[in-house]
Chain A
Amino acid sequence: MAKKVALLQGNQACAAGAVYAGCKFFGGYPITPSTEVAEELSISLPKVGGKFIQMEDEIGAMASVIGASLTGMKSLTATSGPGVSLKQELIGYACIAEVPCVIINVMRGGPSTGMPTGPGQSDVMQAMWGTHGDHAAIALVPSSVQEIFSETVRAFNLAEKYRMPVQVLFDEIVGHMRERIVFPEPGELEVIDREAPTDGPDTYKPYDSTKGQIPPLASFGSGYKFHVTGLNKADDGFPTTKASLVDAEERRQVDKVMDNVADIESNEEYLTEDAEVVIWAFGSTARSARYAVNELRKEGIKAGLFRPITLWPFPTKRTAELAVQCKAIVVAEMNLGQMIHEVERAAKGNCVVAGEFRVDGEPINPAQIMKKVKEVL
């Protein structure tokens, strides 16, 4: 049987991916350029018995998502930079309380209101460090409509598996672009559901590290009575200031991601095997970069593309290897230089690291990437 094919917008593909992943709750607030995600889900979620609520503000939207997730529902919110700024407090709450949820950030220009209808990639450091306190982060950066679908599914999988908030960031270009999408059949993409506790309600502890690095989360209303707080807490979920307990919990919550980078990491490479110069780019910029690689090859320049699909945790290992192999890495991003700092950290001076940046609301085009490559070689 032929697969279902459609011409779909990135934001619509995100909504479709969420439903495929089993999302049953969306709490949001209108914001350009992400609004179509909410609009689509307001149609599709009730059809599958799910719940859609438009909350009074971005913070309330994030709160409702965490509340719904605690009842066992896969939960989503979608917003853009200003909204993510407002949600930071509760993204931190989801980190410390370890509540799975997915946050879509369709990136526009910034800071503040910035350029609501223009693309940007300037929220990438915010995705890692936006909320206060030490924490791990997972952020995915798809670059096509098809990939928005599959990465939204993977975001839910990672959120449920690692019991934490996962962010999916795509720039406005990818969010509003229309492309052909082939809808995966049910079962074609892996869908991970939340692990149920093995302990009964009488002995269950929501943060019991003897159950593993990621202790199972019970659901409210399923027979388990437990406490959830944003305070530092002991394994039973109740607040503590005991130094050893606080330290162990803080470290476990970071280690559960950093010890599993291999599982979370996802990159695409194009013609990097013999590359003398690697363009390091993600989202819509990676599409320009791929074009630039082809053009540069025609001119005899051995160029390649490294495209992170998981941005956080940062692909340190592979970036470091490429830095040893090639003469230069050109980081192209629609900001004034954010991920380049991480690339420089990973490269450890083993190659030239140069940046090609743009923040005028226009996409980075292949010609400017090619020009930069020629400058550094």
Chain B
Amino acid sequence: MAYDYEKSIRPGKLPHIWCPGCGHGIVMKGLIRAMDTCGLDRKNTAIVSGIGCASRLPGYLDACTLHTAHGRAAAFATGVKMAKPEMTVICCGGDGDGTAIGGNHFIHACRRNIDMTYVLMNNFIYGMTGGQFSPCTPTGAKASTTPYGNPDPIFDISKLAIGAGATFVARTTAAHPREIDKLIVQGIQHKGMSIIEVLDDCPTTYGRRNKFRSVVDMMKHLKANAVPIKAAAKMTAEQLQGKFLTGVLFHDTEKPEYCAQYAEVIKKAQGA
């Protein structure tokens, strides 16, 4: 029997705004399956996003949804989680939103290790504004503001998250839909800051400019260059050139979670 996504989607809110071939829908389905697997009570689940194509995701889902300002998802979500730690908090958004304009909030949410799950859809481009380069656009790639090829080096989002102090960091791609929900489930179940980076595709503003002839080409590219972290251990640096590691890249269960730490502050303040 086909999976029932409808029960998780707000009546009348589809069709979504995403272009044909966009990977965001695959991620949304993965998120829905993950929320079901975790048995989340939607009344006590806040889904928080910033601005951009990926940030439109919460509006479609039946939950407490907060579509904030550009880059600010992690900071709004921090307020929600601090105020009501019993709520499950999920952030979602794109690479430009999360790591350029929102980079400061992103790294500090990681540093605090506040219990939330951030599903970051990295499609290497600012899609909604028409394809300007983001901190994740590969060097040399074409974007509407890099007509001669992108001179900028890229952010490795997962490494950034690990370096900043997130305690569960995983990466997969839109070409691996089964892995998306598995990793999000682990992220939700992990007590602390979880970053799930999903590499996906923007055929409209990235693919067309960068010699991907079709969405299938883009998916094949994601598949061909994804290397599970276990397999990578047996590969040379040369073999790993241009590849991206997938799976659970980092998992630390020792570092204290932020709201739990603040509960201790309250106890001390109250003289307990």
Q: Would A70 and B66 count as touching, CB distance under 8 A?
A: yes
Q: Would B68 and A238 count as touching, CB distance under 8 A?
A: no
Q: Please name all residues of chain B whose beta carbon is closer than 8 Å to the beta carbon of A55 when the two chains form the complex.
A: 75, 78, 108
Q: Would B75 and A239 count as touching, CB distance under 8 A?
A: no
B160 at interface, CB cutoff 8 A = no
A67 at interface, CB cutoff 8 A = yes
A195 at interface, CB cutoff 8 A = no
Q: Would A90 and B69 count as touching, CB distance under 8 A?
A: yes
A164 at interface, CB cutoff 8 A = no
Q: Would B82 and A64 count as touching, CB distance under 8 A?
A: yes
Q: Would A67 and B104 count as touching, CB distance under 8 A?
A: no
Q: Would A71 and B83 count as touching, CB distance under 8 A?
A: yes
Q: Mark B41-73, 1 if CB is under 8 A from A, else 0.
A: 011101010000000001100111111110010
Q: Mark B21-55, 1 if CB is under 8 A from A, else 0.
A: 00000000000000000000011101010000000
Expressed in whole angstroms, the minimum distance between the Cβ of B185 and any Cβ of chain A is 21
Q: Please name all residues of chain A whose beta carbon is closer than 8 Å to the beta carbon of B63 when the two chains form the complex.
A: 225
CB-CB under 8 A for A64 and B59, given A25-B82, A46-B269, A238-B13: no
Q: Please name all residues of chain A whose beta carbon is closer than 8 Å to the beta carbon of B68 when the two chains form the complex.
A: 63, 66, 93, 230
Among the listed A60, A220, A229, which residue makes an inter-chain contact with B64, where contact means beta carbons less than 8 Å apart?
A220
Q: Please name all residues of chain B whose beta carbon is closer than 8 Å to the beta carbon of A238 when the two chains form the complex.
A: 13, 59
Q: Mark A309-329, 1 if CB is under 8 A from B, else 0.
A: 000000000000000000000
Which 4 pairs of residues, A with B, have the shortest CB-CB distance?
Answer: A67-B79, A64-B79, A63-B75, A46-B269
Among the listed A25, A75, A224, A228, which residue makes an inter-chain contact with B67, where contact means beta carbons less than 8 Å apart?
A228
Other 10 A-B pairs with CB < 8 A, given A63-B76, A221-B43: A25-B79, A25-B83, A55-B108, A56-B105, A57-B104, A59-B75, A66-B76, A221-B84, A225-B65, A229-B67
Q: Please name all residues of chain A whose beta carbon is closer than 8 Å to the beta carbon of B83 when the two chains form the complex.
A: 24-25, 51, 67-68, 71-73, 75
A-B contact pairs, 17 of them (CB 8 A): A46-B270, A47-B269, A47-B270, A51-B262, A56-B108, A59-B75, A63-B72, A63-B79, A64-B78, A67-B78, A67-B81, A220-B46, A220-B64, A227-B65, A230-B67, A238-B13, A239-B59
